[in-house]
């Protein structure tokens, strides 16, 4: 019985391995390198696809002008002019900085089907995208602050 339980747990863990975790990205690091670079919370959110608490995170209530980059590799992901108040407790955006900044993957964890969002450069888990956002896209990119780094917009070069 004990062996059967271990087998079932192992099979479940392997089945939960996401497409993003298996893909090769331009920025690849070992688990030890990620753990050294990131805080414990950043590691579990960005690399282990956990979710931070709503309303108790760095950027859900940030209204400053600037850009949001990936905590793992620094790639530009979102601009503050696409951020909106979703009421969810997480920073939400209606579109990424460009059409190559993020990748979406089907997420079937927890008995739901969602679209998971990852950084296209290093594969860091960012959050999920939903089809209940404002115009012009109708999308809500619901992101984890722990996966983002904010930089105040000093000039237009921040967006390059």
Residue with more model confidence, 37 or 10: 37
d(C-alpha 132, C-alpha 136), whole Å: 11
* 8, part of any domain: no
Question: What range does the domain containing 52 cover?
Answer: 41-159
Asked about 142 being catalytic, the answer comes back as yes
Per the structure, the count of domains in the chain is: 1
CA dihedral 29, 42, 133, 56 (to 10 degrees): 180
* 79, part of any domain: yes
* 3, part of any domain: no
Q: What is the CATH number of the domain that holds 141?
A: 2.170.150.20
Average pLDDT over residues 9-19: 42
* 147, part of any domain: yes
Q: Which helix (H) or strand (E) holds 20?
A: helix 19-22
Per-residue pLDDT, 2: 52
98-122, pLDDT tens digit by residue?
A: 999 999 988 777 777 789 999 999 9
Percent of the chain with pLDDT over 70: 81
Average pLDDT over residues 129-158: 88
Catalytic residue among 70, 119, 122, 142: 142
Per-residue pLDDT, 154: 59
* 132, part of any domain: yes
3-class state of residue 85 by DSSP: coil
CA 89 to chain centre: 15
Residue with more model confidence, 157 or 28: 28
Per-residue pLDDT, 38: 98
* 109, part of any domain: yes
Cis (ω within 30 of 0) for the bond into 125? Answer: no
d(C-alpha 142, C-alpha 93), whole Å: 7
* 87, part of any domain: yes
* 57, part of any domain: yes
């Amino acid at each position: 019985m004990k062996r059967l339980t271990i087998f079932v747990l192992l099979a479940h863990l392997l089945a939960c391995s996401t497409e993003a975790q298996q893909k090769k990205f331009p920025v690849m690091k070992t688990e030890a390198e990620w753990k050294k670079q990131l805080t414990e919370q950043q590691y579990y959110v960005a690399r282990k696809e956990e979710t931070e608490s709503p309303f108790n995170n760095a950027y859900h209530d940030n209204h400053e002008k600037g850009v949001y980059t990936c905590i793992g590799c620094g790639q530009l992901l979102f601009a503050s002019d696409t951020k909106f108040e979703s009421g969810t407790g997480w920073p939400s955006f209606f579109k990424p900085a460009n059409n190559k900044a993020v990748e979406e993957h089907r997420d079937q964890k927890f008995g739901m089907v969602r679209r998971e969002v990852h950084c296209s450069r290093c594969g860091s888990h960012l959050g999920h995208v939903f089809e209940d956002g404002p115009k012009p896209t109708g999308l809500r990119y619901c992101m984890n602050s722990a996966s983002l780094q904010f930089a105040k917009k000093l000039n237009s070069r921040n967006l390059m």
